């Protein structure tokens, strides 16, 4: 079946005996992923396990995680562990972002404990389309339109070419009963509203929008990767502040907008707090400088221009 083929292709580069973990919530996507991993591992001489993260965000979440773990054990996965986490966001991130952050931290810690070469997640082509639509709505730029990456570090997403309908069919064929997350019907969550908007678009404009959005991600990702690499190279070339205005303006706009983020983070700004507003204001110090004062940047930084160089200072430090 298609799910097994996708998982097999995603693991082809791993040597015999490698350990692989699947992140399993109990939903159709992750159960189909877990079943496919168990099947592939037997045929590719891999050790396969699962991690069920309990976010504790709804009543009975511990029981849901425990049930998902039991299904994974029944599939032959080993080790299988349930990892409870505490989701505590701050004013700069909502509950979805906070849950995602602690989930990835838990998965990484589990991979370290078990020496896993890869952690598989069950994001599908539908998730990819929804992510691209969300990026369009937010106006978040090229990187957001690149969608969900197939790989990042240890994390691999084999099912980005598989539809949600296919994962549900896989579960039905294997007599697996997926858990249905009640949050999937709660409009308080952004992903639910995006999913509903996508259904409305398909109803009004016809089928094929999901595939078109997913193809957009594939096409844009190579461009975004190239721009990011050029910005990384530029940041290494410029080094620590002060930075020459002439050198900064020599970079094309698509490179310089990415470059500012890297320079600010390297200077001490927290990565999660640097926004496009900060980078745009810093960019005006070199592209439209007329004697304006310093730019306040998260992390207690001031970025100021002399017209010839751009300096970074700490609050209260001359």
Condensed to tens digits (0 to 9), the pLDDT of residues 209-245 reads 999 999 999 999 989 999 999 999 999 999 999 999 9
pLDDT value at residue 92: 58
25 annotated to bind ligand: yes
pLDDT value at residue 99: 84
Q: Which residues in the chain land under pLDDT 70? A: 89-93, 140, 183, 316-318
Q: How far apart are CA 59 and CA 302, in angstroms?
A: 46
Q: Are strands 118-120 and 19-23 parallel, antiparallel or unpaired?
A: parallel
Phi and psi at 123, nearest 5°, equal -65, 135
pLDDT value at residue 4: 98
3-state helix, strand, coil in the chain (%, to 5): 55, 15, 35
Residues 6+ apart with CB under 8 A from 134: 144, 190, 191, 194
Phi and psi at 207, nearest 5°, equal -70, 165
Domain ranges (residues) in the chain = 2-209, 239-314
**CATH fold for domain 2-209:** Rossmann fold (3.40.50)
pLDDT value at residue 271: 82
Q: Are strands 80-84 and 155-156 parallel, antiparallel or unpaired?
A: unpaired
pLDDT value at residue 97: 79
30 annotated to bind ligand: yes
Angle, CA 120 vertex, CA 153 and CA 171 arms, to 5°: 165
Q: Kindly tell me the sign of the dihedral angle through the C-alpha atoms of 178, 180, 184, 188.
A: negative
29 annotated to bind ligand: yes
pLDDT value at residue 318: 46
pTM: 0.83
Q: Are strands 155-156 and 118-120 parallel, antiparallel or unpaired?
A: parallel
Residue 215, judged by CB atoms within 10 A of its CB (0-12, 13-18, 19+), counts as middle
Q: What is the pLDDT of residues 276-309, one digit of tens each?
A: 889 999 999 999 999 988 999 999 999 999 999 9
**CATH fold for domain 239-314:** 3.30.465
pLDDT value at residue 119: 98
Rounded to the nearest 10°, the torsion over CA 152, 153, 155, 161 is: 30
Would you say how long the chain is, in residues? 318
300 annotated to bind ligand: no
135 annotated to bind ligand: no
């Amino acid at each position: 079946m298609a799910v097994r083929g996708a998982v097999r292709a995603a693991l082809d580069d791993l040597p015999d005996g490698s350990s692989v973990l699947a992140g399993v919530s109990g939903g159709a996507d992750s159960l189909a992923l877990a079943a496919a991993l168990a099947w592939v591992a037997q045929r590719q001489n891999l050790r396969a396990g699962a991690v069920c993260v309990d976010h504790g965000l709804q009543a009975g979440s511990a029981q849901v995680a425990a049930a998902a773990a039991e299904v994974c054990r029944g599939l032959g996965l080993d080790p299988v562990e349930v990892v409870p986490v505490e989701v505590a966001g701050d004013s700069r991130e909502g509950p979805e972002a906070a849950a995602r952050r602690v989930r990835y931290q838990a998965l990484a810690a589990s991979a370290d404990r078990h020496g896993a070469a890869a952690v598989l997640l069950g994001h599908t082509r539908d998730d990819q389309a929804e992510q691209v639509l969300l990026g369009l709505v937010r106006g978040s730029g090229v990187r957001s339109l690149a969608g969900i990456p197939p790989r990042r570090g240890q994390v691999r997403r084999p099912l980005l070419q598989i539809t949600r309908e296919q994962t549900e069919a896989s579960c039905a064929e294997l007599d697996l009963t997926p858990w249905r997350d009640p949050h999937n019907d709660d409009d308080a969550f952004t992903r639910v509203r995006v999913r509903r908007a996508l259904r409305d678009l398909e109803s009004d404009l016809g089928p094929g929008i999901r595939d078109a959005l997913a193809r957009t991600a594939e096409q844009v990702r190579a461009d975004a990767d190239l721009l990011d690499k050029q910005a990384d190279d530029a940041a290494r070339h410029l080094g620590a502040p002060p930075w020459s205005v002439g050198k900064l303006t020599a970079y094309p706009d698509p490179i310089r907008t990415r470059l500012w983020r890297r320079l600010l983070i390297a200077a001490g700004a927290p990565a999660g707090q640097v926004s496009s507003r900060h980078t745009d204001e810093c960019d005006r110090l070199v592209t439209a400088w007329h004697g304006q004062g310093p730019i306040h940047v998260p992390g207690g930084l001031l970025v100021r221009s002399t017209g010839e160089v751009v300096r970074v200072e700490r609050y209260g430090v001359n």
